[in-house]
């Protein structure tokens, strides 16, 4: 339906689309600052057999049960620089089943980032002066554990949590997602259903319009208002109730059987309503919003690694 050339169907869809677009925009703005920690590789070099009780494995004079080498990368994945003034509590990696034995093979991108790695028992503390978007640091660490598992914690301005990425290739499910992801997901499902319904209505509208423009008018043989109303309610069910009511009121002005000029007038009114319904345009808007919503949900639930 249109008023002064504006489709209320499309207007309604645009307003409803804010339920998808607004959370995405808010999340995009909120994620302008992001810090990721990636476990690029984890290899257990040796593992003491439990049956060999008298075997003692030493590393730098310290007795160990296992020896694991882990390659770790920290990157500013956001869109704004991170400075030391943004840091309340520095980024700290805590290894779950072993002590930190040695840090080696440190690589900064770009060079001279002046990032410091401070080991202590089962943790590494990372401090930096400045990390611009895309800046990163990689290093290898030897631990006395066997799993290579660790946690990452920090208190940094505009960062609610640190993003942890595993070394395994493929698609990984993120450990947690924000509330906005669920909001967008619900609205996206609703828009998917609306898209299907609008496509069905659009096909019906096009089919009826093509038939009537070809000169075939199915209701031309109607012998009463009730018979015409039955046709409108069944064949034009995609029209809004108010639109069908407009056709009913117009039909009550005519005598039955319908005169040719009355058939032409009714056909013209039906075509006018169909042309202004905007189902096809609404379906396109709804489809685009659905795609954007599903993409956003998928990108927040999954991490794709090559």
Residues in the chain: 306
pLDDT digits (tens, 9 = 90+) for 75-134: 998 888 999 999 999 999 999 988 999 999 999 999 888 899 999 889 999 999 999 999
Per the prediction, the chain carries an average pLDDT of 83
Asked if residue 208 lies in contact with residue 274, where contact means CB atoms within 8 angstroms, the answer is: yes
pLDDT digits (tens, 9 = 90+) for 171-182: 455 555 667 778
Tell me how crowded residue 91 is: count the other CB atoms within 10 A of its CB: 22
Asked if residue 55 lies in contact with residue 126, where contact means CB atoms within 8 angstroms, the answer is: no
Domains and CATH numbers, the chain: 2-26+181-283 (no CATH), 33-157 (2.60.40)
Burial class (CB in 10 A: 0-12, 13-18, 19+), 292: middle
Q: Residue 242 has which token pair?
A: 């108010």
Q: Residue 22 has which token pair?
A: 């607004």
Nearest-angstrom CA–CA distance, 219 and 84: 77
Split the chain (306 residues) into runs of 10 and give each run's mean pLDDT.
47 69 70 84 85 79 88 90 94 92 93 91 94 94 90 89 70 60 83 87 89 87 89 86 88 88 91 82 85 83 57
Nearest-angstrom CA–CA distance, 267 and 275: 12
User: Which residues 6+ apart lie within 8 Å of 151 measured at CB?
Assistant: 93, 94, 96, 164
């Amino acid at each position: 339906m249109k008023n002064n050339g504006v489709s209320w169907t499309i207007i309604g869809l645009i307003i409803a689309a804010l339920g998808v677009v607004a959370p995405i925009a808010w999340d995009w703005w909120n994620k302008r600052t992001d810090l990721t920690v990636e476990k690029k590789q984890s290899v257990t070099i040796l593992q003491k057999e439990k049956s060999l009780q008298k075997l003692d494995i030493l590393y730098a004079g310290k007795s160990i049960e296992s020896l694991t080498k882990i390659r770790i990368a920290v990157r500013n994945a956001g869109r704004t620089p991170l400075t030391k003034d943004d840091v309340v509590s520095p980024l700290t990696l805590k290894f779950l089943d072993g002590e930190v034995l040695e840090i080696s093979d440190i690589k900064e991108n770009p060079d001279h980032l002046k990032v410091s790695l401070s080991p202590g028992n089962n943790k590494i503390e990372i401090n930096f002066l400045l990390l611009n978007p895309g800046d990163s640091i990689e290093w290898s660490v030897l631990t006395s554990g066997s799993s290579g598992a660790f946690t990452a914690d920090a208190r940094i301005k505009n960062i609610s949590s640190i993003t942890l990425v595993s070394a395994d290739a493929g698609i990984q499910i993120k450990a947690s997602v924000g509330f906005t992801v669920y909001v967008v997901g619900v609205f996206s499902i609703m828009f998917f259903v609306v898209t299907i319904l609008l496509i069905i209505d659009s096909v019906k509208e096009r089919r009826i319009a093509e038939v009537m423009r070809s000169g075939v008018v199915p209701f031309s043989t109607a012998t009463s208002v009730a018979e015409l109303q039955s046709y409108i309610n069944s064949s034009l069910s995609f029209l809004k109730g108010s639109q069908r009511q407009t056709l009913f009121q117009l039909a009550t002005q005519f005598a039955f059987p319908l005169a040719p000029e009355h058939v032409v007038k009714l056909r013209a009114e039906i075509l006018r309503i169909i042309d202004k319904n905007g189902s096809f345009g609404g379906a396109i808007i709804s489809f685009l919003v659905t795609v954007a919503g599903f993409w956003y949900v998928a990108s927040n639930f999954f991490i794709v690694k090559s």
